[in-house]
């Protein structure tokens, strides 16, 4: 066993597989440094990541919990994607002051707007805590492994967080074979500084999303504020601009094919060690089910958003998020099929089986995976429709939040106690309900919600196996006998359509009326809950899922985690002569490659950059996806590009590299060989959307908004010369 452990330890420390593949841990980037030198980097490894000195990592921010940003001035100015700031911009917009549609630029600090709830995390250090974690877990498996991991994680994070001074996160790498502790400082006062109009920030809309060529100005600017000691503090008028340890200088010299390109950021999740059975399930069951639910959700939302600008502003952030991954799952499925990933993985798994036999392991891991997936597949669709279909409506989520309170009343009633249920118990659950209600109310539009509930209930019924449906269908919606008894009365549902059922539910619930809801919270009772039709509807789904299917999902998840942990452990031993990297897990990573064109199809060459000429060619006045401000069109005709023009006189809008990125890298800086910012990464390309499961060297590209286009819009369209002056711009 000692020999096996040493082989494992050696293999996980090896990095640098292919220059353009891999998302590497910055603390260990020295393992890649020779390859980076060969490709042209002019920085030292210490320049990239250092604990004791200022380095590039100090300029990289985890923004808002799901994106990346970078510091671009000594005064806390931050650059990220437009779609990363979208929610904050929408929340700051009103019908009368529509920052989202019209754009916004602060011309001094006083004009900057607090972005409530947006945070900026700065990485302080990374430490390997594998030994401590593994000693605490021992030989535990399944749910016990998860509980012990949660316990030791909490212990380490509380210890290292120093009573809230830092944010400490223990993260799993290589499917639970290695663990790192990441220490952050979290800044809470973040303010909107600038955003282009939505027509530019989302130019191309859903049509161009995940596509190349692109002409999208996908950027926004914020500023991080701190107290007088440069430390994190809640929003206060007395706070001052944060002074980062490092900020990125900006190069407007431009890029050419073959130039070195490095991306630093917080990629979310990849699953490149997934087995063929998992890919097959995704392609044939999970992804198509997600797409079906999201297709319908988007169509419903779009109809109501188009009718009313206030509804548009309320729903647009959620719509954009749903739409992004709706198209992602379509593309991922298409590319997994096109590249024959299931067959390729099966071929590699045959080699793995041979390795097991030759080394006397006799684990038959792939056989166990096969049995596991065979047992889970009949329930996989139900799980998707529950989360993507039933829970798509706010009324369903609101009703679901009542379950703890309902169950507490039910337990008390079953106990036959003569005493009233404890006020403290009721108060605790009512407070939870209030929190959930407020959260859902932010995106609650009555017309949208009625249609959403009706259509999602229909979709659920038509797609989930009939023997897995909740009892609300039989007892309420299709209960003909009960409907006959109630005909002409208001005591039960007597309609014949899902639309009528939704109308009935909304007419008989406190959840659609905040005044009635608040009255209930002041004087809650079990009788009121039992008579509420939205609660009846929601709990039918919740109880059915929690009782009959969640245990199957959890058992599958625990067993898969155990098998995956062992599988990756053995893969690392099998591949000890090769270089491997851990899946992305929302921690800082580095990828490196080059500015590079590609051939998406036979006979078609895709250039590595786009220009404003291409945007104007796509321009359609009044279009929801391809409109643009008249001032930009005028600047184009005048060719008034200033110092942001390329050598050929054109204004470059976007470019592509062969860097390895995924969701979470949105807003990541693309950095040249000299450590200068040359663009903001914002998307991947259609032909490589299998990348989260299987990297494809031939097709994988990162789509980047050229920093020159960003600065041109800040300067010429936003007239925010104050921002231009505070950056270190290098020509």
b/e map 671-685, b = 16+ CB within 10 Å: bbbbbbbbbbbbbbb
What backbone phi and psi angles, to 5 degrees, belong to 170? -95, 125
Q: In this structure, are residues 252 and 729 in contact, taking their beta carbons and an 8 Å threshold?
A: yes
Q: Give the CA angle between residues 669, 670, 672 to the nearest 5°.
A: 130
Comparing CA positions, the residue from 124, 172, 173 lying closest to residue 148 is 172
Q: Which residues pair with 226 in a beta bridge?
A: 240
Strand partners, 529: none
Q: Is 666 annotated as catalytic?
A: yes
By CB atoms closer than 10 A (0-12, 13-18, 19+), residue 452 is: buried
Task: Label residue 637 exposed, middle or buried (CB < 10 Å: 0-12, 13-18, 19+).
Answer: exposed
CA atoms within 13 A on the CB side of 236: 11
* Rg for the chain, CA atoms, rounded: 27
> What's the rounded Cα separation, in Å, for the pair 461 and 543?
16
Beta strand 589-594 with 260-265: parallel, antiparallel or unpaired?
antiparallel
Decide: helix, strand or coil at residue 624.
coil
Task: For 85-140, list the strands marked E by DSSP.
Answer: 104-105, 113-114, 120-128
What does the DSSP assignment read for 360-393? T----HHHHHHHHHHHHHHHHHHHHIIIIIGGGS
Q: Is 583 a catalytic residue?
A: no
- Strands, DSSP E only, in 434-517? none
b vs e for 571-610, b when ≥16 Cβ sit within 10 Å of the residue's Cβ?
A: bbbbebeebbbbbbbbbbbbbbbbbbbbebeeeeebebbb
Among candidate residues 87, 208, 218, 660, the one labeled active-site is 218
H or E element in which residue 403 lies: helix 403-415
Q: What residues have CB less than 8 Å from 531, skipping those under 6 apart?
A: 508
Phi then psi for residue 73, to 5 deg, are -155, 165
Catalytic residue among 82, 83, 246, 569: 83
Cβ pair 88, 64 in contact under 8 A: yes
Point out the catalytic residue in the list 666, 668, 683, 690.
666
Task: Determine whether 83 is an active site residue.
Answer: yes
Per DSSP (E only), the strands in 475-553 are none
Spatial distance between the Cα atoms of 196 and 452, rounded to a whole number of angstroms: 32
The answer to whether the CB of 27 falls within 8 A of the CB of 173 is no
Which tokens hold the place of 3?
């020999």
Annotated catalytic sites, by residue? 83, 218, 666
């Amino acid at each position: 066993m000692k020999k096996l452990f040493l082989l494992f330890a050696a293999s996980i420390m090896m990095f640098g597989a292919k220059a353009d593949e891999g998302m590497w841990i910055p603390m260990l980037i020295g393992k890649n440094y020779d390859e980076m030198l060969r490709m042209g980097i002019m920085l030292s490894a210490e320049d990239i990541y250092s604990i004791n000195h200022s380095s590039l990592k100090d300029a990289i921010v985890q923004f808002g919990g799901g994106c990346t940003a970078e510091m671009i001035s000594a005064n806390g100015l931050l650059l990220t994607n437009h779609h990363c700031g979208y929610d904050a911009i929408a929340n700051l917009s009103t019908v009368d002051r529509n920052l989202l549609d019209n754009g916004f630029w602060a011309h001094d600090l006083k004009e900057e707007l607090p972005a409530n709830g947006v945070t900026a995390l700065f990485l302080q250090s990374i430490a390997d805590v594998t030994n401590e974690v593994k000693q605490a877990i021992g030989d535990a498996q399944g749910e016990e492994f998860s509980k012990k991991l949660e316990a030791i994680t909490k212990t380490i994070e509380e210890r290292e967080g120093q009573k809230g001074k830092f944010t400490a996160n223990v993260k799993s790498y290589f499917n639970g074979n290695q663990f790192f502790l990441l220490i952050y400082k979290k800044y809470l006062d973040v303010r909107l500084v600038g955003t282009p109009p939505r027509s530019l920030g989302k130019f191309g809309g859903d049509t161009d999303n995940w596509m190349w060529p692109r002409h999208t100005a996908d950027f926004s600017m914020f500023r991080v504020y701190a107290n007088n000691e440069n430390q994190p503090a809640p929003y206060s008028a007395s706070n001052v601009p944060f002074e980062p340890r490092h900020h990125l200088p900006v190069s407007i010299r431009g890029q050419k094919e073959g130039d070195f390109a490095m991306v630093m950021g917080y990629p979310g999740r990849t699953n490149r060690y997934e087995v063929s059975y998992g890919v097959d399930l995704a392609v044939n069951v999970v992804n198509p089910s997600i797409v079906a639910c999201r297709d319908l959700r988007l169509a419903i939302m779009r109809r109501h958003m188009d009718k009313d600008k206030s509804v548009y502003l309320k729903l647009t952030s959620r719509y954009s998020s749903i739409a992004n991954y709706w198209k992602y799952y379509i593309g991922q499925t298409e590319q997994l099929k096109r590249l024959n990933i299931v067959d390729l993985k099966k071929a590699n798994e045959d080699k793995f089986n041979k390795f097991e036999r030759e080394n006397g392991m006799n684990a038959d891991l792939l056989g166990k995976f096969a049995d596991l997936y065979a047992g889970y597949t009949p329930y996989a669709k139900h799980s998707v429709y529950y989360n993507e279909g039933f829970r798509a409506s706010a009324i369903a989520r609101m009703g679901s939040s009542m379950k703890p309170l309902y169950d507490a009343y039910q337990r008390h009633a079953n106990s036959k106690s003569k005493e009233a249920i404890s006020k403290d118990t009721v108060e605790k659950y009512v407070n939870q309900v209030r929190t959930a209600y407020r959260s859902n109310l932010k995106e609650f539009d009555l017309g949208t919600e009625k249609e959403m509930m009706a259509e999602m209930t229909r979709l659920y019924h038509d797609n989930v196996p009939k023997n897995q449906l909740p009892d609300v269908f039989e007892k309420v919606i299709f209960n003909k006998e009960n409907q006959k008894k109630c005909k002409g009365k208001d005591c039960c549902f007597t309609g014949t359509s899902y639309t009528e059922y939704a109308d009935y539910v909304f007419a008989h619930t406190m959840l659609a009326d905040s005044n009635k809801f608040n009255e209930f919270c002041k004087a809650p009772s079990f009788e009121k809950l039992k008579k509420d039709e939205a609660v009846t509807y929601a709990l039918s789904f919740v109880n059915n899922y929690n009782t009959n299917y969640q245990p199957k999902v959890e058992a599958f998840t625990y067993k898969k985690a155990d098998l995956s942990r062992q599988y990756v452990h053995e893969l690392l031993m099998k591949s000890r002569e090769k270089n491997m990297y851990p899946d992305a897990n929302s921690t800082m990573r580095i990828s490196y490659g080059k500015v590079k064109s590609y051939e998406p199809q036979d006979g078609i060459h895709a250039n590595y950059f786009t220009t404003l000429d291409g945007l104007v060619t796509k321009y359609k006045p009044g279009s929801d996806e391809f409109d643009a401000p008249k001032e930009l069109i005028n600047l184009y005709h005048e060719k008034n590009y200033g110092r942001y023009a390329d050598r050929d006189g054109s204004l470059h809008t976007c470019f592509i590299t062969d860097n390895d990125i995924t969701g979470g890298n949105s807003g990541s800086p693309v950095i040249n060989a000299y450590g200068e910012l040359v663009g903001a990464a914002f998307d991947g390309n259609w032909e490589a959307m299998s990348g989260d499961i299987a990297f494809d060297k031939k097709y994988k590209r990162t789509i980047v908004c050229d920093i020159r286009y960003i600065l041109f819009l800040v300067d010429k369209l936003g007239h925010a010369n104050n921002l231009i002056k505070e950056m270190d711009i290098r020509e």
